[in-house]
Amino acid sequence: MALLQIAEPGQATAPHQHRLAAGIDLGTTNSLVATVRSGKAETLPDAQGRHILPSVVRYTPEGVVVGEEAQAAAAKDPLNTIVSVKRLIGRGIDDIRSLGSRLPYEFTRQDTAVPRIRTVAGDVSPVEVSAEILKVLARRAEESLGGELSGVVITVPAYFDDAQRQATKDAAQLAGLNVFRLLNEPTAAAVAYGLDHEADGVHAIYDLGGGTFDISILRLNKGVFEVMATGGDSALGGDDFDRALAEWIMRQAGIADDADHHLLRRLMRDARAAKERLSETGQAELDIELGDGNRWQGSIDRETFHGLVDPLIRKTISACRRAVRDAGIDRDEIRDLVMVGGSTRMPRVRELVGEFFAAEPRVDIDPDRVVAIGAALQADVLAGNKPDDEMLLLDVTPLSLGIETMGGLVEKIIPRNTTLPVARAQEFTTFKDGQTAMAVHVVQGEREMVSDNRSLARFELRGIPPMVAGAARIRVTFSVDADGLLSVEAEELSQGVKARVEVKPSYGLTDDEVANMLRASIDHAEDDMATRKLAEERVEAQRVVEALGAALAADGDQLLQPEERQRIDAALGDLQQAAAGDDADAIRKAIEDLEKTCEFYVERRMNNSVRKAMAGHKVDEFE
């Protein structure tokens, strides 16, 4: 009720302390910290007035150096200077091998789940490297705010999976920070523009950074941002624009491809500076030091530059087209087009992307800082510095979560795009008589079959009291906290036996894989349904066969004539044969035939057990 809380200027409605909070954009190339002061969110500079901290960490025998100084040493000390650690965080050794040769570091050879990088200061994990960046930003915030932070909001890409999110939180913990929340980067950008206070609608967040490109289609629906689709290219960013320009300079200056790497590095640096100047002016002068006192001088105008970079920009637009299609919307449904990332300062990017979406790109907030600013606004709310009615921003699960059931099928427990935090429970039962343990396999993804989804964790519930198949009641509860982290609990309800697992998978998916999984689930929807039907019928067949087997063993000889028994065995054989085949309808029919054949037997068994139950009792007791 904001209206009731109007106070005189400078006078708080309730005398409460303003708790210090900050938002952190932990980027692949650059990181920033922002906070809300006097109602305004702003990024914080270091002592030299620099707001942007390059996400580079250098290990030396004397200690750790972070930021521009570390970046300056990257060329001469590549093995101890870790750049783009965000590409490694929360990834397993296998994922990293696939990123492979592009990384200049030495990984320790042990077969640990979490890779470690060898440096002069010892082996370090991506979590530790990220913690160093966070420490510098947190210290900066505490110095400038004059007190200890009560908590922070850290942003992560929308496609980050559980492992990557957990690892980011671990890094914050290592840096001594209290994490209020992890927030999706595109959501943070939308918050910075106040889109969460506007009417419901669909927005596109176009984020072109140094080494990555992300496009997210968000839908604001009753105060909740749903991720309708994400897409992009994890190997496309400003660096590629630098490379395109550097290669042009090499051709102009007649520099050979195999020039020494000091010259190539200088070229990349000069190309980057020229690229950034071209965002402001129509022409950039170039003055390249070739070595041995030789120089090459020239200039490049915007038109020539566009010829070099347009193919790269068009690649991002193809990804936008796919994302719009995955979101299942028309391009013209997109209301706001928000530009994020340093590379969207290029006027050409704004022009072509704006053309594609037929929308005026929103650029009034500095695209370098917009994510940190959105994070700071959320941190301020979460620190309790806002009136109670201030809407808490909610996120959603990016992929469905479920468990494996019989036949290798996935039972989805929390569907994709469910608002967080969430807890959902579902009851399962035992499949066999006397079954005392149950394996729980937690999977993530959209497909019907376990084998097509990602396995997150396995655990076992033991100590189920022996009962007939189908009698035990096992409740499996999935809880996902506000940061998107999952825990799963299974409980046997009659005896209260419990097993619990925190899902902290040791390796992650690449963003392309997530996109592919989503896409595949759409492409394969029909196949999957057929596969699911077949698997379900097989499971049902097996259940019928086992139940009938148990019954026959118990009282078949007593209740059946040999000729009756033969008929049942024949129908049973038909079902077993059908279940071995691939025809779901044939299995269904064989089950129905068997059930029909057995009707008289089931009836006899029922009468028999009623008679048994009534033995020794007077009939009227049951009335």
Say if residue 266 is exposed, middle or buried (CB neighbours under 10 Å; 0-12, 13-18, 19+).
Answer: middle
Per CB under 5 A, 27 contacts Mg ion: yes
How far CA 557 is from CA of 26, 76, 561, 605, in Å, comes to 72, 86, 8, 12
Main-chain phi, psi angles of 560, to 5 degrees: -115, 140
The option from ligand ADP, Mg ion, none interacting with 374 (CB < 5 to 8 A, set by class) reads: none
Task: List the one residue out of 498, 213, 202, 458 whose CA is nearest residue 340.
Answer: 213
Part in contact with Mg ion (CB under 5 A); list of ranges 23-31, 59-67, 156-164, 461-469: 23-31
Point out which residues pair with 122 in neighbouring strands: 119
Q: From the CB of residue 596, how many other CB atoms can be counted at a distance below 10 Å?
A: 10
Per CB under 6 A, 402 contacts ligand ADP: no
484 backbone φψ class: left, alpha, beta (φ>0; ψ -120 to 50): left
Contact mark string toward ligand ADP, 460..499, x via CB under 6 A: ----------------------------------------
113 token code pair: 């789940």
Interatomic CA distance for residues 425 and 586, integer angstroms: 34
Part in contact with ligand ADP (CB under 6 A); list of ranges 187-195, 309-317, 342-350, 488-496: 342-350
* C-beta closer to Mg ion: residue 209 or 398: 209
User: Active-site residue 364, yes or no?
Assistant: no
Query: In the complex, what is the shortest distance from the CB of residue 172 to ligand ADP, in angstroms, rounded to a whole number?
Result: 18
Interatomic CA distance for residues 344 and 341, integer angstroms: 6
Q: Which amino acid is at 50?
A: R
Query: In the complex, what is the shortest distance from the CB of residue 372 to ligand ADP, in angstroms, rounded to a whole number?
Result: 10
Contacting residues for 207 by C-beta, under 8 A, at least 6 apart: 185, 186, 189, 213, 214, 215, 216, 232, 340, 341, 344, 371
C-alpha torsion 552→555→556→559, nearest 10? -150
Part in contact with Mg ion (CB under 5 A); list of ranges 7-15, 83-91, 209-217, 298-306: 209-217
Per CB under 6 A, 532 contacts ligand ADP: no
Query: In the complex, what is the shortest distance from the CB of residue 342 to ligand ADP, in angstroms, rounded to a whole number?
Result: 2
Point out which residues pair with 227 in neighbouring strands: 218
The H-assigned helical ranges of 424-484 are none
100 backbone φψ class: left, alpha, beta (φ>0; ψ -120 to 50): left
Per CB under 5 A, 211 contacts Mg ion: no
Residue with tokens 């139950």: 613
Would you say 145 and 139 are in contact if contact means Cβ atoms under 8 Å apart? Answer: no
The option from ligand ADP, Mg ion, none interacting with 71 (CB < 5 to 8 A, set by class) reads: none
The option from ligand ADP, Mg ion, none interacting with 211 (CB < 5 to 8 A, set by class) reads: ligand ADP
Query: In the complex, what is the shortest distance from the CB of residue 446 to ligand ADP, in angstroms, rounded to a whole number?
Result: 28
Query: In the complex, what is the shortest distance from the CB of residue 276 to ligand ADP, in angstroms, rounded to a whole number?
Result: 4
* C-beta closer to Mg ion: residue 28 or 150: 28
Contacting residues for 331 by C-beta, under 8 A, at least 6 apart: 324, 356, 357, 358
Q: Which residue is nearest to ligand ADP (CB)?
A: 238
* C-beta closer to Mg ion: residue 339 or 575: 339
The option from ligand ADP, Mg ion, none interacting with 362 (CB < 5 to 8 A, set by class) reads: none
The option from Mg ion, ligand ADP, none interacting with 453 (CB < 5 to 8 A, set by class) reads: none
Interatomic CA distance for residues 160 and 202, integer angstroms: 21
Per CB under 6 A, 279 contacts ligand ADP: yes
The option from ligand ADP, Mg ion, none interacting with 279 (CB < 5 to 8 A, set by class) reads: ligand ADP
The option from ligand ADP, Mg ion, none interacting with 219 (CB < 5 to 8 A, set by class) reads: none
Would you say 34 and 20 are in contact if contact means Cβ atoms under 8 Å apart? Answer: no
302-327 and 261-278 helices, crossing angle to 10°: 80
Q: From the CB of residue 287, how many other CB atoms can be counted at a distance below 10 Å?
A: 11
Point out which residues pair with 229 in neighbouring strands: 217
Query: In the complex, what is the shortest distance from the CB of residue 28 to ligand ADP, in angstroms, rounded to a whole number?
Result: 4
Query: In the complex, what is the shortest distance from the CB of residue 379 to ligand ADP, in angstroms, rounded to a whole number?
Result: 19
Would you say 400 and 423 are in contact if contact means Cβ atoms under 8 Å apart? Answer: no
Query: In the complex, what is the shortest distance from the CB of residue 575 to Mg ion, in angstroms, rounded to a whole number?
Result: 58
189 token code pair: 């950008």
Binding-site size, Mg ion (CB under 5 A): 2
User: Active-site residue 380, yes or no?
Assistant: no
Catalytic choice (161, 170, 207, 452): 207
Per CB under 6 A, 374 contacts ligand ADP: no
Query: In the complex, what is the shortest distance from the CB of residue 400 to ligand ADP, in angstroms, rounded to a whole number?
Result: 28
User: Active-site residue 76, yes or no?
Assistant: no
Task: List the one residue out of 126, 183, 37 whose CA is nearest residue 484.
Answer: 183
Per CB under 6 A, 130 contacts ligand ADP: no
The option from ligand ADP, Mg ion, none interacting with 81 (CB < 5 to 8 A, set by class) reads: none
273 token code pair: 């500076």
Per CB under 5 A, 126 contacts Mg ion: no
* C-beta closer to ligand ADP: residue 249 or 346: 346
Binds ligand ADP (CB under 6 A): choice among 87, 219, 345, 369? 345
Per CB under 6 A, 157 contacts ligand ADP: no
Per CB under 6 A, 342 contacts ligand ADP: yes
Would you say 231 and 215 are in contact if contact means Cβ atoms under 8 Å apart? Answer: yes
* C-beta closer to ligand ADP: residue 211 or 508: 211
User: Active-site residue 411, yes or no?
Assistant: no
Per CB under 5 A, 210 contacts Mg ion: no
Main-chain phi, psi angles of 540, to 5 degrees: -60, -40
| Pairing mode, strands 151-156 and 21-26 | parallel
Catalytic choice (161, 162, 170, 185): 185
Interatomic CA distance for residues 563 and 257, integer angstroms: 87
Query: In the complex, what is the shortest distance from the CB of residue 360 to ligand ADP, in angstroms, rounded to a whole number?
Result: 19
Contact mark string toward ligand ADP, 181..210, x via CB under 6 A: ----------------------------xx
Query: In the complex, what is the shortest distance from the CB of residue 371 to Mg ion, in angstroms, rounded to a whole number?
Result: 6
Interatomic CA distance for residues 30 and 237, integer angstroms: 13
Binding-site size, ligand ADP (CB under 6 A): 21
Rule CB under 5 A: which residues touch Mg ion?
Answer: 27, 209
Rule CB under 6 A: which residues touch ligand ADP?
Answer: 27-30, 209-212, 237-239, 272, 275-276, 279, 341-343, 345-346, 368
| Residues with active-site annotation | 25, 86, 185, 207
